[in-house]
């Protein structure tokens, strides 16, 4: 039996480690299951094309990841397949370029990934795919067969169920509160909008003197005194002047007797003394015609109309001093 010295023992240690590593590698390789996906490698003009599928079989509810990688010189130009060209019975749900990787030898690996989705269950083939290098060199993959399984247990005998009837889903009470509040707010907003629209669209009413003078012109145009119709003439003339007093000075003239109206006018500081006297004379003359059977002539009727006109023109509101002059000019032209 030979003895082994310290130097011999040190020399045996690397050999034992190598033998142990080889044994573990062989055992793990023998026990490892085969790769579930698919890989192809193709070469042309110094470039290497690798096709990778993440699985050989999938269900109609799954997707398939297909990756194309080209290892080539950094100056080479690589064009990957356009997903619009199609992948047989598979549809490209999405695609994206993979980040480029620089190798130790200065070569660059470029990649493109495609997410494919099946239409129907069955055995299908992804056709050959072509990658173009530098605009002229084509590197083509081999067709790949993929199995697509149905998500149904027995697809051959599967039957579609009839559509069920409507299902009553009770709404929470607060839905009704919110809905009612929303409807009420919408109605209130609409009514407010309509009101503002009408207010904006409606023109302002004409000033009292314009309304009174227009009524006086219409009355004179009928020429009632010339036809011997005096009472209706004086009644309408007195009425338009009373309405003017109410609109201009706020006196409730149409609802008062002449004496009540004169009493109220006497206490008013808005009417000058001369205008009070003019109006008093006119109203008493009109009452004599309406109630005392006084028979005036056309000249009397013309003087009464002229008194009413002068009173209106001389009491136009002072907010626009030019209105009196303009009104008088209009009456002279008429």
- Domains of the chain, by residue range, sit at 38-150, 208-333
The whole-angstrom separation of Cα 219 and Cα 8 is 146
Instruction: Find the mean pLDDT for residues 175-198.
Output: 85
Of 37, 64, 71, 70, the C-alpha closest to 52 is 37
pLDDT range class, residue 158, cuts 50, 70, 90 = low
Torsion angle in degrees (nearest 10) through CA of 37, 43, 44, 47 = 90
pLDDT tens digit string along 257-268?
Answer: 777 777 777 777
How much is the pTM? 0.39
The domain 38-150: what is its CATH number? Answer: 2.60.40.10
CA–chain centroid gap for 82, Å, is: 38
- Is the pLDDT confidence value at 214 over 50? yes
**Per-residue pLDDT band at 167 (split at 50, 70, 90):** confident
Q: Which of 249-253, 260-264, 272-276, 319-323 has the highest mean pLDDT?
A: 272-276
How buried is residue 175: exposed, middle or buried, by Cβ count under 10 Å (0-12/13-18/19+)? exposed
């Amino acid at each position: 039996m030979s003895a082994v010295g310290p130097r011999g023992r040190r020399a045996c240690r690397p050999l034992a480690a190598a033998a142990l590593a080889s044994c573990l590698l062989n055992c793990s390789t023998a026990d490892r299951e085969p790769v579930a996906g698919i890989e192809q490698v193709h070469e042309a003009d110094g470039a290497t094309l690798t096709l990778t599928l993440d699985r050989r079989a999938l269900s109609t509810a799954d997707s398939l990841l297909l990756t194309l990688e080209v290892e080539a010189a950094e100056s080479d130009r690589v064009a990957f397949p356009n997903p619009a060209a199609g992948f047989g019975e598979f549809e490209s749900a999405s695609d994206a370029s993979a980040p480029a990787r620089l190798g130790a030898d200065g070569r660059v690996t470029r990649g493109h990934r495609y997410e494919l989705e099946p239409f129907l269950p069955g055995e299908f083939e992804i056709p050959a795919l072509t990658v173009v290098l530098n605009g002229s060199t084509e590197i083509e993959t081999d067709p790949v067969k993929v199995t697509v399984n149905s998500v149904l247990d027995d697809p051959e005998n599967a039957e579609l169920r009839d559509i069920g009837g409507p299902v009553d889903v009770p709404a929470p009470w607060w839905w009704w509160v919110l809905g009612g509040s929303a409807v009420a707010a919408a109605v209130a907003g609409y009514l407010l909008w309509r009101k503002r629209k009408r207010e904006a669209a409606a023109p302002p009413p004409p000033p009292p003197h314009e309304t009174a003078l227009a009524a006086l012109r219409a009355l004179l145009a009928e020429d009632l005194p010339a036809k011997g119709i005096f009472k209706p003439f004086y009644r309408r003339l007195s009425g338009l002047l009373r309405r003017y007093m109410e609109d201009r000075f706020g006196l409730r003239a149409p609802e008062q007797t002449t004496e009540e109206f004169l009493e109220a006018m006497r206490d008013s500081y808005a009417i000058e003394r001369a205008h009070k006297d003019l109006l008093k004379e006119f109203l008493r003359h009109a009452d004599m015609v309406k109630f005392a059977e006084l028979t005036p002539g056309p000249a009397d009727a013309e003087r009464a109309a002229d008194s009413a006109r002068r009173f209106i023109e001389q009491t136009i509101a002072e907010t626009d001093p030019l209105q009196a002059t303009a009104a008088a000019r209009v009456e002279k032209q008429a």
